[in-house]
Amino acid sequence: MKSLAHWESTGRYITLENQQVFYKNDGQGEVLLLLHGFATSSWDWHKVYTPLTKNYQVIVPDFLGFGFSDKPPKQSYTTHSRVHTLQQLLGGLGILEVHIVACSFSVSLVQELLCWQKEGKLTFRIQSACLLNGGLLTEVNRPSLPQKLMLSRFGGVITRFFSKKTLDKTLRKIFAENTQPSPQLIDEYWELLRHKNGLKVLHKTVCYLKERRLYAKRWQDILQQAQVPVCLIWGVDERDTISGKDTVTKYKALVPNANVTSLPNIGHYPQLEAPKLFLTHLYKFYEKNIQKLDG
């Protein structure tokens, strides 16, 4: 398995609005854009990145506030600011069309991106979207206790007490019992959280939880109105109380003929807990939809 240091050394940085954004970009073919989860980073995808680059061009960024990217204290960490970041990144790379794969908090970003595309505002074209466990639907999304505390007016104080033990406990609660994160993975995520004083801005990055309530109807409607193929590859183990089985049930009721693959005994991070199984289902989705789009 590649180390965190190797991950960074084989990645790149781009300056966007005076901030350094880390990303990796390898492979050739159709472009896959992988978007990471909350409090983590592009490292969410390290188990599937190399296999994917054998068939596709794969781009995976660290959003501002996470991973190796800058973590400016006065930055706006809103969903709209992240849309602009992606437009600038892809524009700088000359990328016009992408297939998006997103997990955790980034599923909300994809919902907003699909809205922008429908409204004719997006500077690149989304060709398909594959979504993994995340808060697609506000009424069945249950943020963790640390997230709720960070969202409060005491968020800045709360993060001072956010420790590796807190991170370990939080992640272990949402991984399935038989696919628990290794001590090494916890160490790696903790190192990335602390990188560039990230803990000082962590409470600011949870603003997407407020936006989920603010844009609840807009983001729910786009799931029914999406103009591109969308699939869910979803861990439905009961331990993912944030956005597990209930989300799948609600989504199927909302979206006729929904393309959903439920993964029993897998929690919040399918690509980390069962990377080979995740890839199998992703490839099946692409076999049907990329070929249709191409021909």
The radius of gyration of the chain from alpha carbons, rounded to an integer in Å, stands at 18
DSSP helix/strand/coil, 187? helix
Q: By mean pLDDT, which of 108-112, 146-150, 196-200, 248-252 is the weakest?
A: 146-150
Q: Is the pLDDT of residue 149 over 90?
A: no
pLDDT of residue 30: 96
What angle, 0 to 180 degrees and rounded to 10, lies between the N-to-C axes of helices 106-118 and 216-225?
70
H or E element in which residue 88 lies: helix 79-92
C-beta separation of 152 from 6 below 8 A: no
Mean predicted confidence (pLDDT) in 180-192: 98
Query: What confidence score (pLDDT) does residue 163 get?
Result: 92
For the chain, what are the domain ranges?
Answer: 4-294
Q: Cα torsion for 166, 235, 45, 107, to the nearest 10°?
A: -90
d(CA 101, CA 71): 24
| Cβ-contact 268, 142 below 8 angstroms | no
Q: What is the pLDDT of residue 139?
A: 81
pTM of the full predicted structure? 0.95
Closest CA to 171 of 185, 159, 160, 157: 185
Helix (H) / strand (E) element for 50: namely helix 49-53
Amino acid residing at 28: Q
- Average pLDDT of the segment spanning 245-250: 95
> What does the pLDDT average to over 51-73?
98
Averaged pLDDT, 172-198 = 97
Q: How far apart are CA 40 and CA 8, in angstroms?
A: 15
Residue with the two structure tokens 């007016």: 153
Q: Contact at 8 Å (CB) between 265 and 178? A: yes
CA distance 16 to 232: 31
- Strand bridging mode 12-16 / 19-26: antiparallel
> Closest Cα partner for 107 from 201, 245, 222?
222
Q: What is the pLDDT of residue 161?
A: 77
User: Which of 7, 15, 12 minimizes the C-alpha distance to 40?
Assistant: 7
Q: Residues 264-269: what's their mean pLDDT?
A: 98
pLDDT computed for residue 144 by the predictor: 72
CA neighbours closer than 13 Å in the CB half-sphere of residue 186: 16
Confidence of residue 19 (pLDDT cuts 50, 70, 90): very high
User: 233 pairs with which residues across the strands?
Assistant: 261
Task: Please give the order of strands across the beta sheet that includes 12-16.
Answer: 12-16, 19-26, 57-61, 31-35, 97-102, 125-131, 230-235, 259-263
Instruction: Fill in the amino acid letter for 111.
Output: Q
For residue 154, what pLDDT band results from cuts at 50, 70 and 90? low
Q: Single out the residue of 209, 216, 278, 264 nearest to residue 242, CA to CA.
A: 209
Give me the CATH code for the 4-294 domain, please. 3.40.50.1820
295 has pLDDT over 50: no
